Homo-oligomer: A and B are copies of this chain.
Amino acid sequence: MNYRILLVEDEEHLRDTIKLNLELEGYTVIATGDGLDALNTIREGRFNLVILDIMIPTMNGLDVCERIRLENRDTPILVLSAKNSSEDRVKGLKLGANDYLTKPFNLEELLLRVGILVKSGLKGTEKEKDLYRYRFGDNEVDFSTYTVTNSKGSFQITKRETMLLKLLIEKKDQVVSREQILEKVWGYDVFPSTRTIDNFILAFRKYFEQDPKNPKHLHSVRGVGYKFTD
């Protein structure tokens, strides 16, 4: 079996070291030092693991992590960081990283953890359904099939809608600004007008709310953005 690993690390020397060692272990390694680059690469190819330094230029590494998770639920992510505060580790793990390693690290430990992650990803791309379901009101959303079920019946929503909904639910009870939404769901280089987001919310209200005019779950916060509550 040929395992493919995407390595995102900006320090050139370290990048080469890690790449070399992983290749000696038999992995195929694609390496880049840039976050945007990484996102593009991951969209094109398939990987068994992403090793991600969160202190990279161009964009925040944690955002890269979150974005990979919005688009792609399966690929394991191993986060590297110079910060050793537990808050940072917690933040990384919350955004969907599968493991977190602090620099400087023991190379052998890295290789061991890589081995563990790569294998765990293999066991089955499909995970338990419950992990991808979310219930609120009389709605049930299945993020793996893009399906919504409620009293009105059962229907499909689109990928974009799913990503946005996921983001709002992740940040439940918090206001998410339009900028944040654009950044996370659409990316750094695309800038649709703000009407677009409104239209998505509009659609959500039609899908999920008993009375779309008096939303119980999808609230507008004037001048800022939107907020999801149960």
Contact A188 B4 (CB under 8 A): yes
**Count of chain A residues near B, Cβ 8 A:** 60
Taken together, the copies of this chain in the complex come to 2
21 sampled A-B residue pairs with Cβ under 8 A: A2-B187, A2-B188, A46-B188, A48-B188, A87-B106, A89-B106, A89-B109, A93-B113, A98-B116, A99-B116, A119-B127, A119-B131, A122-B127, A123-B124, A123-B127, A124-B124, A124-B126, A126-B126, A145-B227, A158-B223, A159-B223
Closest B residue by C-beta to A174: B145
**Is the C-beta of A20 less than 8 angstroms from some C-beta in chain B?**
no
Contact residues of A between 92 and 118, Cβ < 8 Å to B = 93-94, 98-99, 105-106, 108-109, 112-113, 116
Does the CB pair B119–A90 fall under 8 Å? no
Binding site for B on A (CB under 8 A): 1-4, 28, 45-46, 48, 72, 86-87, 89-90, 93-94, 98-99, 105-106, 108-109, 112-113, 116, 119-120, 122-128, 130-131, 144-146, 156, 158-160, 171, 173-175, 179-180, 182-184, 187-189, 191, 221-224, 227
